Amino acid sequence: MNSPSTAAPPDAPLILEIKGASLDDGPGIRTVVFIKGCPLSCTWCHNPESKAVGQELSFDAGKCIRCGECLRVCGEGAVTPGQGPDRSLCSLCLACTEVCPAKALEPVGRAMTPEEVVETVARDLPFFDASGGGVTLSGGEPTLFPTFCGDLLRQFKARGMHTLLETCGHFSWSAFESHILDHTDTVYCDIKLMSPEAHRHHCGVSNSNILSNLEKLLTLHRSGALDVLPRVPLVPGITATVENITAIADHLNALDAHTVQVLPYNPLWHGKIKKMGGHGAAPSESLGRFMDNGEVKHWRGYFEERGLTTL
């Protein structure tokens, strides 16, 4: 079973990346702020570098030119040109990332104040205005840091931006209501597995809190107080099974949801895991390749047969 960290997260997250010009994370052209740290531990996570809350170091062997600069500055003797860091020795001082000319070694996560994040995102305001876009908080899991992310969202709204939260749904409802809800226009909430046991096995926690939060979110959606879109990641043999997809479709119908977005599986996380020091091997053939259009259409069909519109 996957086990997420049980340690309490710090108040402020590290920022994994601020990525502009996204067309996949909400309406219009969007800038996505990726928060580092997630309370789930999904086996197929497509952003594995966002799972851990703390600082990490990535090494891309394909970029390394074996210049030896990293070895020269590493006080721990933890890095070998061409092979990268020995993570059991590395103190994460990040000195090597400052001298690596090929950017083969890079820090994963950096501390930023909410004001620094807002100023960075605000440079893209002309694109938001021209396209009906805005800013999306993603991760990792932004709700793991409700005070920080609530402050971010409040400042985004004060600058006239449309705000969207992408969430795994596993959060404290009271913290969400207190800090985030008032400053959020749209929530994309994932629903992955209907079986609590399967959810615990593949994601590290039961789905009970997620299903409870999704129900509350959809109640707000029906009242017109919040725009909410449930999303289902299609993971071959895990979430993309007839039993699970039909159970999710029936559940969404019971909650009077009319629309669902399906997220086709992609295998790029294997390469990312390798850069973080893991082995990166695909556990099966179907998890080692992109899901093709025919497969996606097949899974959409189960939702559409049950009257749901799929995006």
User: Which residues in this chain contact ligand SF4 in the complex, by CB under 6 A?
Assistant: 57, 64-70, 73-74, 76, 78-79, 81, 85, 90-96, 100, 102, 104-105
Closest approach of Cβ 271 to ligand SF4, in Å? 17
Half-sphere exposure at residue 293, Cβ-oriented, CA atoms within 13 angstroms:
0
Closest approach of Cβ 89 to ligand SF4, in Å? 7
Instruction: State which residue, 278 or 288, has the beta carbon closest to ligand SF4.
Output: 278
Closest approach of Cβ 100 to ligand SF4, in Å? 3
Separation of alpha carbons 29 and 226, rounded Å: 20
Matching residue, tokens 């799929």? 310
Closest approach of Cβ 59 to ligand SF4, in Å? 7
Rg (C-alpha) for the chain, rounded Å, is 20
Concatenating the DSSP letter of every residue in 109-128 gives: -EE--HHHHHHHHHTTHHHH
Instruction: State which residue, 84 or 236, has the beta carbon closest to ligand SF4.
Output: 84
Q: At what angle do helices 146-158 and 114-122 cross, to 10 degrees?
A: 40
Instruction: State which residue, 96 or 226, has the beta carbon closest to ligand SF4.
Output: 96
Closest approach of Cβ 44 to ligand SF4, in Å? 28
Strands 134-138 and 162-167: parallel
Sheet of 134-138, strands arranged across: 110-111, 14-22, 30-35, 134-138, 162-167, 186-190, 227-233, 259-263, 309-310
Instruction: State which residue, 104 or 262, has the beta carbon closest to ligand SF4.
Output: 104
Instruction: State which residue, 72 or 297, has the beta carbon closest to ligand SF4.
Output: 72
